[in-house]
Structure 1
Amino acid sequence: MSQSQHSKTSSDTRFCSGDSEADILIVGAGVIGAACALELSRRGLKVLVLDRDEPGMGASYGNAGHMATEQVFPIADASLLKRIPGMLIDPRGPLRLDWRYLPKSAPWLVRLLWNLRPAPYQHSTAGLQALNAASLPAWRELLSSIGQSALLRDEGSLLVHERSETTGELAAVAARMQGQGVPVEPLSREEVRRRAPSLTEAVKGGLFFPDTGHVTDPHRLVQALMAAAESAGARFARAEVSSGEAQADGVRLETSRGALTVPRVLVSGGAYSAPLVSALTGTSVPLDTERGYHLMLPRETERLPLAVTSLERRFIMTPMDEGLRLAGTVEFAGLERPARMQRARRLLELAQGLFEQPLSDTDATPWMGFRPSLPDSLPVIDRAGPEGRVLLAFGHHHLGLTQAAITARLVASFVADESFASPTSSALADSAFTDSVSRAVRDTALPSLAPYRLGRFA
């Protein structure tokens, strides 16, 4: 949808007459919601997408752009216990916990630590590995289908180290990844510099992850998905959904444009999903937010050919069409506290030491966004409520971009269940269409939904 069209939509405070005829309303127009809108529209549903802002302007706008399929481990491990004091007192650290937010975040942190026990930790790892293994193929197919393959550069990524004493740590990372079936190739200093010649000679070596990649513009990616969804019949409108109720005959939503009743709803509102999920399903999900920061360097479009992560400095650099994006710092401070943009600007200090020639920070722009995080590091991908009318796709923490295409495919697989089809939708009632959906689902290697069920929080 063009900017002018969005502006017109934003100024209209009423729903269009056709909006009440939607088969499904999607709450959230980030990369998850946009990908789901496209997949569901293609399966014949009349889709309405609502968001308080323009598509892709939340966490999807400022993510690192890294297709992080190698990140198959939960966001915390046993080392977190000894790092908590530093998180509370070091405002410059890569992982920060605002002490004023500690009372509110304590229950979430307790559940996070509880999930470090061997059995739940292994369960989370298996769930992440299953989604990530299917993620890049799903993205290739989805982007190819809309003529946007150029947005994805699936040429791998690097993890580099600079100190001799971290050689063992790097080897341990490689061993853990290989243990989970993640392709990884150890590289010497010379091999790292062949792949990224601008890096400093101080780099001792690294790891190459061939089955990863990056997108050249995360915001444009979401816009492309929404445009394709609209071409397939979806509609977008700016509105904030405040509450709702799921009943046997439909889902009533309270929005900033008034009330609307639809046959079903998909909640993909990222870090803002929990209150609506509670209202619609009666389940209180322990959703918190990782506040992620980035610094965009628009004068550095040619500095790197692929995404590079630093083992010691704990951040990532991703080349994009509009410059070099430095990202990776995490802060736990909730949704309300103002951004601390000095955290974004510190990323430049970290990056400078990795290059032979200084980076230019002319016209650099900082950003902060909210990553939706659950304490077991797994998203919720499920359907709930009366007659399965409430679909759920949220809580992907820092893997929302990576897992969006396969999540959309999983959500779309729900329509293959005839009992879920709207009796008023001619497309879904058509037997040939239903057969084609069932065939597509059968032929696609979809992960089991068991690890991602809402019921684990009931």
Structure 2
Amino acid sequence: MPVDNRVDVAIVGAGIIGIATAFRLAAAGRSVALIERDEPANAASRGNAGAFAFPAIMPLASPGILLKAPKWLVDPLGPLSIPPAEFPSRLPWLLRFFRASMLGRLEASTAALAALNRLSQSETAALTFETGTGGMVRADGALELYQSEAEWRASLPGWRRSEEAGVVVEHVEGGRLAELQPGLSSRLVKGVFLPQWQTVGDPRAYALALLAAARAHGVRFVTSEVARLAPDADGVTLTLSGGDALRADHAVLSAGPWSGALAASLGDRLPVTPERGYNTTLPPGAFDLKRQLIFPAHGFVVTPLETGIRVGGASELARIERPANFRRARHMLDKAAGFMPGLKREGGIEWMGSRPSMPDSLPVIGRSSASPRVIHAFGHGHLGLTQSAATARLVCELVLGEAPSIDIGPFRPGRF
């Protein structure tokens, strides 16, 4: 791309957040360049669980996690793991995570997530309508499952908070549980059905369909790594890996777990960490799965996709480049087979990818301290797909100088 080329907005990162933002800005009449070091939607946007988890308003950072985390952390195959060699570098993030889990912060974080997810639900409906992708979305809800009455009762305070925020919750057992998902183990005695939960048949195909719609609106895709962002009074110069430069009125940083280094180069030292997730995608027909199943005590979900049955989840705090430990994927598959006795485990494809996670479970959405012309939009953790359309709307409003649709104070970069 020639050095003298200029656009209204340059977006760094072509995951689902960057792609949705590119579409929304282009639809608003802005010229947009979408810059990606790899193929588009080829990281977490490829291998996620495919959920529009609008009811998921309870932060991972919560008082309940304080009781579970110590046990999880000493289990190398547990739902939350830090390899011993990684622990010193992850300790500052972990300490912030524990502070964010205190009861006094829970209400504010829950309210912020509820507002963002409500906006996400309406904005996703608008986005899928405008891009013709509504047929890719399934509105068949999700089922959260419990192995004991005590485990279910421990979840009730969170569900009460969710219901107060407008989440529709149905507590189920017995015949109703079997109706929602036949073939489950008798060890699963209680469930919570979430009818507002939606899924997409193939998360990467959905992201690429949005990208096609964005390109039809004039968005240019640039394959390059951004080496440097240099804002000034009139805009931002982005230096690309090949030596070229791109000039933009605004830059949006949405490069997932790679965002931290670029933000730090601007003086915004934000505690975003790579949170690595694992999954196995089994062939179609591996189980007669009616909807997404959630196993909260074990940190994994099972999702029906067009490409098969995806068993995945877990959180591993480690460098992006650390070799994958696929024992974690196999451990989740073992557990899934125990809860779903008819599951056919042959022919699975294993995957590992990194999500960008913040210690307080809230994304970063707001202007950089270095310049109002640089906007951060990253750190969505497990909810990148869920919150992509809302984030696109909020970033677009910031670029256009409009009042945000919701209060973005809880997501401001300077909160740390």
Q: TM-score if structure 1 supplies the norm length?
A: 0.86
What's the CA shift for 1:335?
2.0
- Contact 2:115/2:406 (<8 A) preserved: yes
Give the equivalent residue in structure 2 for 1:263: 249
What is the correspondence of 1:147-296 to structure 2 with a 5 Å cutoff? 147-260=132-245, 261-280=247-266, 282-296=267-281
- Contact 1:76/1:116 (<8 A) preserved: yes
| TM-aligned CA distance change 1:165 to 1:387, over 3 Å | closer
| TM-aligned CA distance change 1:296 to 1:16, over 3 Å | farther
Letter matched to residue 413 of structure 1: E
Letter matched to residue 160 of structure 1: L
- Contact 1:201/1:356 (<8 A) preserved: no
Q: 1:446 aligns with which of 405, 413, 416?
A: 405
Check if 1:389 corresponds to 2:373: yes
Letter matched to residue 392 of structure 2: A
- Contact 2:301/2:312 (<8 A) preserved: yes
Q: 2:361 aligns with which of 363, 377, 394?
A: 377
Check if 1:110 corresponds to 2:95: yes
Give the equivalent residue in structure 2 for 1:138: 123
Give the equivalent residue in structure 2 for 1:333: 318
| TM-aligned CA distance change 1:407 to 1:187, over 3 Å | same
| TM-aligned CA distance change 1:367 to 1:87, over 3 Å | same
Larger Rg: 1
Q: 55-64 or 109-118: which moved more?
A: 109-118
Letter matched to residue 364 of structure 1: G
Q: 2:344 aligns with which of 314, 335, 360?
A: 360
In the alignment, the residues of structure 2 paired with residue 125 and residue 164 of structure 1 have an alpha-carbon distance, to the nearest angstrom, of: 25
What's the CA shift for 1:217?
0.4
Letter matched to residue 46 of structure 1: S
Q: 364-373 or 169-178: which moved more?
A: 169-178
| TM-aligned CA distance change 1:311 to 1:394, over 3 Å | closer
Number of equivalences: 415
| TM-aligned CA distance change 1:320 to 1:335, over 3 Å | same
Give the equivalent residue in structure 2 for 1:402: 386
In the alignment, the residues of structure 2 paired with residue 228 and residue 302 of structure 1 have an alpha-carbon distance, to the nearest angstrom, of: 34
| TM-aligned CA distance change 1:387 to 1:341, over 3 Å | closer
Q: 394-403 or 135-144: which moved more?
A: 135-144
Q: 327-336 or 31-40: which moved more?
A: 327-336
Letter matched to residue 279 of structure 1: S
SS of the residue 2:340 aligns to: coil
What's the CA shift for 1:329?
1.2
In the alignment, the residues of structure 2 paired with residue 42 and residue 205 of structure 1 have an alpha-carbon distance, to the nearest angstrom, of: 45
Structure 2: segments with no counterpart, 5+ residues = none
- Contact 2:17/2:254 (<8 A) preserved: yes
Q: TM-score if structure 2 supplies the norm length?
A: 0.94
In the alignment, the residues of structure 2 paired with residue 203 and residue 112 of structure 1 have an alpha-carbon distance, to the nearest angstrom, of: 30
Check if 1:411 corresponds to 2:395: yes
Letter matched to residue 113 of structure 2: L
What's the CA shift for 1:96?
1.0
Letter matched to residue 379 of structure 1: P
What's the CA shift for 1:198?
2.9
What's the CA shift for 1:252?
1.8
What's the CA shift for 1:85?
4.1
Letter matched to residue 125 of structure 2: R
In the alignment, the residues of structure 1 paired with residue 206 and residue 140 of structure 2 have an alpha-carbon distance, to the nearest angstrom, of: 18
- Contact 1:36/1:409 (<8 A) preserved: yes
| TM-aligned CA distance change 1:203 to 1:386, over 3 Å | closer
In the alignment, the residues of structure 2 paired with residue 302 and residue 187 of structure 1 have an alpha-carbon distance, to the nearest angstrom, of: 21
- Contact 1:157/1:213 (<8 A) preserved: yes
In the alignment, the residues of structure 2 paired with residue 105 and residue 68 of structure 1 have an alpha-carbon distance, to the nearest angstrom, of: 27
- Contact 1:156/1:208 (<8 A) preserved: yes
What's the CA shift for 1:193?
1.2
Give the equivalent residue in structure 2 for 1:323: 308
Q: 86-95 or 141-150: which moved more?
A: 86-95
In the alignment, the residues of structure 1 paired with residue 76 and residue 384 of structure 2 have an alpha-carbon distance, to the nearest angstrom, of: 26
> Deviations along 1:187-237, whole A, 9 cap, x unmatched?
122111112123234431211111111111000011011100000000112
What's the CA shift for 1:160?
1.5
- Contact 1:317/1:327 (<8 A) preserved: yes
In the alignment, the residues of structure 2 paired with residue 89 and residue 208 of structure 1 have an alpha-carbon distance, to the nearest angstrom, of: 32
Alignment root-mean-square deviation, CA: 2.0
| TM-aligned CA distance change 1:279 to 1:60, over 3 Å | same
> Deviations along 1:366-387, whole A, 9 cap, x unmatched?
1111111111111111123566
In the alignment, the residues of structure 2 paired with residue 341 and residue 387 of structure 1 have an alpha-carbon distance, to the nearest angstrom, of: 42
In the alignment, the residues of structure 2 paired with residue 344 and residue 70 of structure 1 have an alpha-carbon distance, to the nearest angstrom, of: 26
What's the CA shift for 1:302?
5.8
